[in-house]
Chain A
Amino acid sequence: MNEYDVIIIGAGNGGLASAATLAELGKRVLVFEKHNIPGGCGTSFRRGRFEFEVALHQLSSMGTPEKPGPLREQFRRYGIESEIEWIEIKELFRVNFPDGTGVSIPADRTACEAYLIEQFPAEKDAILRYFEAVYAFADESVKFAEASAKSTGEPGALKKAMMKLLFPKMYPTLARYGLLSTQAVLDEFFSTPKLQLALSAYWCFMGMPPERFPWSILAKCTNIYMEDKPFYLRGTSMMMNQAIMESIRRNGGEVRLNLGVKKLLLENGKAVGVVDDNGVEYRAKKIISNISPLATYGALLEPEEVPAAAREYLKPYTVGISAITCFIGLDCPPEEIGFTTSFTLNYESLDANKDFQDAYKLLPEHDPLVATCYTVDDPAVSPKGTSIITAGTLKYGTEWEKLTPEQYYETKYEAGRRIVARLEAMYPGFTSHIEEMEVATPLTHMRYLNHPGGAIYGYEQDLLNSVFFFPSESKIPNLEFASGWVNACGFGPNYLFADKLAKRIAREV
């Protein structure tokens, strides 16, 4: 009775998408989710007249209905594309500088090049060369990934030597920039700090400052968002994840909400099933964990069951950053306070790397401030005449974990007060329009995600932990991972990763 092809632990983005693909392919799947709603990070909550988005800023890889991107195609297969109202975002982002000026980047390569040349005429040639490099990089990455997918096993020493010689010739942009930081690449191209900041804004989507942010992620982000356009949707990311959950059920899959897994069952070192929080046992040919590898090994197994190889494998990986976020409902439309681009990154100085150092401190200080106003691209996301803004800074959980329980609420509101003061300075009158407001701290993220440090992107998305080094390998046969801890974090990348994983597993079960 309790036997399945695949059991999925956690209904986050990766868990839902892998289950949906497996169910679509006719596999018997069971998803456990300990919360009362699906979605993991991709969730929302209600306060007063507002429904607040918690995680999604811009959905990538959607493309337009006429020129669909891979994610839109995946959602078509799930039967959910037409159930959701997708909203195309016209500008990638706006970067606001401390002197009151700013740049708004169009979601189109040609328009963007023209706009930047107009803003920074002295850098014209560099701008054009830079976009050439971004696109060449994206192109080579795809080709390399396709070639790698075809090869199997370790080649012999001779072949290895050949490939070593050939690689830089076949993939010159990849070889040159693939392991450089964003700052290193931008320094190579540009000498104007404002232009560098205008091009690097997506660093904050992954929580690493330019000097630690892999340029390869930035290049792919820029390329994908320009080609497939950034999207939002009506009803928050919760709508998308609920839709995926319904698709799983339509295809015969089961999703159990309000029910967690407390044990991963091993036999002869292989994963064979799970035990739910009520002590009921289930068996499956494969288990997909959508929770962190740390919690999978650390909380679902006895210490002596954890393979030494897993401990060794995960050693160099560093738990990543968390955030402080204010969810704000205003009783006025965005233009009334001067909000014109949905996604803005706001700097206190022109040195993003230095300002980012404040992320290690308890409270927001000079931290770059990310502010998103969902109402700009779709007035219908909140009641008529209101707007929704989420604003916050990246923050490590370390200092928050040192607070005593008595200090917590006071500190949380002080953090909120500082963020609102920054917004007030940029948008005078802002505070007087606040109708609802909640503050989420690294401890809030820790509470709801059960992630160490309140990490919101899994491991640090830096050169050492990400891109070529994601810890996606499982050290237990028949156990697989599908969360943002083991691949490029973010909605689009995670759905696509889980889809690919599920297709492979479908061939094996």
Chain B
Amino acid sequence: MGKTLKDTLLGTLQNGEEVLEDIRVLRKVSLDKITEGNKADARIAPLHAKSLGLIVSAIADTGKNAKIFRLSSAEGYLPPFEAGQYLNLFTEIYGVRTSRPYSISSSPRQRGYYEITVARSACGFVSDYLLDEVKVGDTFSANGPAGVFRYQPVFHSKKSLFLAGGSGITPFLSMTREVLEAHLDRDIVLLYGCRNEQVALYQEELSAYADEFPNFRYHLVISDNVAGWTGETGFLDKAHIARLAPDYTARTCYICGPQVMNEFCQRELETLGVPEKRIRRELFGACKNIEKEAGWPVDLTGEEIFHVTVGERTIEARANEPILVALERAGIRVNVCCRSGECSLCRVKLISGKVFLSKGMLLRKADEAYGYIHSCKAYPIGDSSILL
């Protein structure tokens, strides 16, 4: 058989015959690569599993109204994570599939299990279930570990200031355990704001660390008036920071706790002159009392029920609950991970109607231009229509 026209013409090019010969040789010596084509997923799985199968291997009490859950792998392997990252745990409660993000509190240096800590919240649909119903041997699926609330060695200071509130202590526990147990060359001041000592999590462990390690200082700051308490009191504020971590300007500051505390601490740091680049914040979960957030329509109490149209279905949605929750109640599957407005997995398009977007939603410019919202922090304040 003669050469094709293409090869004939290419052969007239300078270097043409040489290139054609190289390709002929390659064709002869190369292996079939098609079978290799679908291996990327398998190569990545040990680092980032699409979904984790977890089994509860131990449960322990900590503080008042909180429990520690150890989660082992149902498949026998847990991917590595960075201290400070979270798991998004899926549950099915009364037939409703939903999920919650929980920071991992165990050290990333051991991966026999991931530890999470669950504290009871006021009307905690999921926390009640985890605290009251779940027992050793129960199984869950989860995604993650994920999140960017972590020590970034390229530009963060080796000196850290951790500001924790309530159950927001959990990512700091992971970071502290890693630094101290692995004897890393870092220095930590941890200020932990709580109502009282009884609800403080991991109090014993943290106090013991502070006694043992000179590069770890720990102060519990109590806001209730408790007779006999000799430690720090009041709301964790700039006075505490300036006194207990006087070298705060040399530190990277990390804040994790309820939204009110989180925002307050950020303002306090800014007042102290800490630049934005030195302040890292973790916002987890949807905001409680969304109707108190600035910009919430004055004529709505939050208890109103609106209609959200999704394709051919119309579902009911309460004003003070994120649209994501309404979708989950209706059994509509939505991709989800952080539930805090950041990761964008639960992104939907708002075709018509009004929603209230809670603070901290990290939208892209294209989202704003074309009406996309993150359903985990978008609240219905009128009838609306969305596209998944």
Q: Do A and B come from one complex?
A: yes
Residues of A that sit less than 8 Å from B by CB: 36-37, 44-49, 51, 83, 154-155, 157, 160, 163-164, 167-168, 174-180, 184, 234-236, 238-239, 241-243, 246, 257-258, 292-299, 303, 306, 310-312, 314-319, 331, 401, 405-406, 408-409, 413, 416-417, 420, 431, 433-439, 443, 446-447, 449-452, 454, 463-464, 468-469
Of all chain A residues, the one with the shortest Cβ separation from B335 is A258
Pairwise interchain contact B366-A239, C-beta atoms closer than 8 A: yes
Closest chain B residue to A291, Cβ basis:
B37
**Bound: A423/B277 CA distance, A:** 18
Closest-CB distance, A179 to chain B (whole angstroms)? 4
Chain A residues within 8 Å of B40, by CB: 295, 446-447, 449-452, 454
Q: Are B34 and A179 within 8 A (Cβ)? A: no
* Residues of B contacting A450 in the complex (Cβ-Cβ under 8 angstroms): 40-41
Q: Which residue of chain A lies nearest to B342 when distances are taken between CB atoms in the complex?
A: A46
Q: Return the contact of A298 from the options B37, B276, B364, B369 (Cβ within 8 A).
A: B37
A437: B residues at CB distance < 8 A: 152, 154-155
Segment with Cβ contacts to A, from B42-50, B54-62, B201-209, B218-226: B42-50
> Of all chain B residues, which has the CB nearest A413?
B153
The answer, yes or no, to whether B370 is at the interface (CB within 8 Å) is: yes
List chain A residues, Cβ under 8 A from B370: 242-243, 246
Select one of B8, B12, B152 contacting A168, CB under 8 A: B12
Residues of A near B47 (CB, < 8 A) are 405, 408, 443, 447
Q: A417-B154, A434-B155, A450-B40 are in contact. Are A242 and B34 (CB under 8 A)?
A: no
Q: Per a CB cutoff under 8 Å, which of A164, A243, A310 touches B34?
A: A310
**Cβ-based interface call for B14 (8 A):** yes
| Interface residue from B44, B154, B276, B364 paired with A439 (Cβ < 8 Å) | B154
Partner of A236 from B32, B79, B335, B365 at Cβ < 8 Å = B365
Q: Which residues of B contact A420 (CB under 8 A)?
A: 154-155
Judge if B210 is at the interface, Cβ distance under 8 Å: no
Among A258, A292, A306, chain B packs the most CB atoms within 10 A around the CB of A258
- Of B20-28, B189-197, B291-299, the one touching chain A: B20-28
Contacting residue for B8 out of A83, A160, A258, A401, CB 8 A: A160
In the complex, the 9 A-B pairs of residues with the closest C-beta atoms, listed nearest first? A294-B37, A298-B37, A299-B38, A235-B365, A435-B277, A316-B26, A46-B362, A242-B366, A434-B155
Interface pair A406/B364, CB less than 8 Å apart = no
A161–B169 alpha-carbon span in the complex (Å): 79
| Interface set, chain B 319-365, CB cutoff 8 A to A | 335, 342, 344-347, 362-365
Pair A434/B277 contact, Cβ less than 8 Å: yes
| Smallest CB gap from A312: residue in B | B27
Write the nearest CB–CB distance from B271 to chain A, whole angstroms: 18
Q: Are A239 and B153 in contact (CB under 8 A)?
A: no
Contact B30 A315 (CB under 8 A): yes
**Whole-angstrom distance between the Cβ of A161 and the nearest chain B Cβ:** 8
B22 to chain A: which residues have CB within 8 Å?
Answer: 464
Q: A179–B364 contact, CB under 8 A?
A: no
Please report the C-alpha to C-alpha distance between residue A468 and residue B8 in the assembled complex, in whole angstroms.
Answer: 13
Chain A residues contacting B34 (CB-CB under 8 Å) are 294, 297-298, 306, 310-311, 314
Contact A452 B39, beta carbon cutoff 8 Å: yes
**A48 CA to B346 CA, complexed, in Å:** 19
Measured CB to CB, the closest approach of chain A to B10, in angstroms, equals: 6
CB <8 Å contact, B26 and A174 = no
Closest beta carbon of chain A to B160's beta carbon, Å: 16
Smallest Cβ-Cβ distance to B345: which chain A residue: A36
Which residue of A is nearest B151, CB measured? Answer: A413
Q: Which of A83, A160, A413 contacts B152 (CB 8 A)?
A: A413
Please give the distance in Å from A240's CB to the nearest CB on chain B. Answer: 8
CB-CB under 8 A from A155, the residues of chain B are 5
Within 8 Å by CB of A464, from B2, B23, B372, lies B23
Q: What does the 1/0 interface line of B1-17 toward A look like (CB < 8 Å)? A: 01111101111111110
Subset of 25 A-B contacts with CB under 8 Å: A36-B347, A44-B364, A45-B364, A155-B5, A160-B3, A163-B9, A178-B16, A236-B364, A238-B365, A242-B367, A242-B369, A295-B37, A314-B33, A315-B31, A315-B32, A315-B33, A317-B33, A318-B26, A405-B46, A409-B80, A409-B82, A420-B155, A431-B155, A437-B152, A468-B10
Q: Which residues of chain B have C-beta atoms less than 8 A from A405's C-beta?
A: 46-47, 79-80
Partner of A446, one of B35, B43, B369, B372: B43
Checking B2, B13, B30, B275 against A174 with a beta-carbon cut-off of 8 angstroms, the contacting residue is B13
Chain A residues contacting B38 (CB-CB under 8 Å) are: 294-295, 298-299
The answer to whether B36 has its CB under 8 Å from any CB of chain A is: yes
CB within 8 A of A177: which of B3, B6, B14, B366?
B14
Q: B93 at interface (Cβ–Cβ under 8 A)?
A: no
User: Please, which residues of chain B bring their CB within 8 A of the CB of A168?
Assistant: 12
Report the separation of the CA atoms of residues A239 and B27 in the bound assembly, to the nearest whole angstrom: 41
Most A Cβ at <10 Å: residue of B14, B30, B154, B345: B154
Closest Cβ–Cβ distance, residue B385 to chain A (whole Å):
14
A413 cross-chain contacts in B, Cβ below 8 A: 152-154
In the complex, what residues of A have CB within 8 A of residue B82's CB?
Answer: 409
| A178 CA / B13 CA spacing, docked (Å) | 7
- Our pick among A258, A292, A443, A464 for the contact of B37 (Cβ within 8 Å) is A292
Quick check: A164 and B12 within 8 Å, CB to CB?
yes
Complex Cα distance, B28 from A120, in Å, reads 46
Q: Chain A residues near B362: list those with CB within 8 A.
A: 46-47
For residue B80, which residues in chain A have a CB less than 8 angstroms away from its CB? Answer: 405-406, 408-409
Question: What is the CB-to-nearest-CB distance from A444 to chain B, in angstroms, rounded to a whole number?
Answer: 9
In the assembled complex, the Cα of A438 lies from the Cα of B46 at a distance in Å of 21
CB-defined contacts of B96 to chain A, threshold 8 Å: none
Q: Is the CB of B13 within 8 A of A175?
A: yes
Q: Is the CB of B366 within 8 A of A236?
A: yes
Residue from B30, B35, B47 whose CB has the most chain A CB atoms within 10 Å: B47
* CA of A132 to CA of B302, assembled, Å: 70
Residue B300 CB within 8 A of the other chain: no
Which residues of chain B have C-beta atoms less than 8 A from A446's C-beta? 40, 43-44
B19 within 8 A of A: yes
Whole-angstrom distance between the Cβ of A84 and the nearest chain B Cβ:
9
Shortest distance between the CB of A363 and any CB in chain B (Å): 13
Inter-chain CA distance A180–B372, complex, in Å, is 48
Shortest A458–chain B CB gap in Å is 12
Q: How far is the CB of B71 from chain A (nearest CB, A)?
A: 18
